[in-house]
Amino acid sequence: MSVIYVVLPVALVIAAVAVGAFIWAARRGQFDDLDTPALRMLEDDDS
């Protein structure tokens, strides 16, 4: 069971990376507009 002393901090680091990625995305404005991109994908502009 002593593996938990390694695995738990590793799990927390992974969680921290995920949260960090989310914060980065939020600050970059990825969640500012949740409606338009959903509609924009309907027009495939291939000109």
Partner 1 sequence: MALTRRCHRVAVSTIDVNNPVFDATAVDTACTHCGLPVPAGLLVPESEHQFCCHGCQTVYETIHGCGLDGYYRMRERLGAQSDQPDVSTHGYESFDDPAFTARWCTEHDDGTMSCELQVAGMHCAACIWLIEKLPAVLDGVLDCRVRFGDRCVTVRWSPEHTSLSAIADQLDRFGYRPHPRQAEQSVVIRREVQSALIRIAVAGAIAGNVMVLAFALYGGMFHGMDRAMFTFFRYISLGLTTISLAWPGRVFLRGGWAAIRTRTAHMDLPIAIGLLAGTISGLINTIRGAGDVYFESVTVLIFLLLIGRALQAWQQRRSQRAIALLFSLTPATARRVQGDGTAVVPIEALQVGEIIEVRAGETVPADGVITRGTTTVDRALLSGESTPVSVCVGETLHAGVTNCASTILVEIEQTGEPTRIGRLMKLVERCADDKPPVVEFAHRMSGVFVVVVVSLAIITATLWAVLEPSVAVERALALLVVTCPCALGLATPLAMVASLGRAAHAGMLIKGGSAIQHLARPGRIYFDKTGTLTAGTLSVVDWFGPDELQALAAAAERDSSHPVARAICDAFAGDELESHTIESTETIGGGVRAIVDGDEIAVGSLSYIRTFDRVISNQILAHADRAWASGASVVFIMRNGVVEAAATIADQPRPEAVDVVRRLRADGWTIGVLSGDHPSVVRALAADLELDDEACIGGLTPEEKVEYVRANSDREAVVMVGDGVNDAAALAAASVGLAVKGSAEASLAAADVYLARQGIGAIPMLLDGATGTMRVIHRNLAISLGYNTVGAILAITGVINPLMAAVLMPTSSLTVVALSFRSRVFRGV
Nearest approach, Cβ of residue 20 and partner 1 (Å)? 10
Residues 6+ apart with CB under 8 A from 25: 31
Site residues (CB under 8 A) for partner 1, limited to 3-22: 4-5, 8, 11-12, 15, 18-19, 22
Max distance between CA atoms of the chain, in angstroms, equals: 60
Q: How many residues bind partner 1 (CB under 8 A)?
A: 28
Helices (H), the chain: 4-27, 36-40
Where on the chain is the footprint of partner 1 (CB under 8 A)? 1, 4-5, 8, 11-12, 15, 18-19, 22-23, 26-27, 29, 31-36, 39-40, 42-47
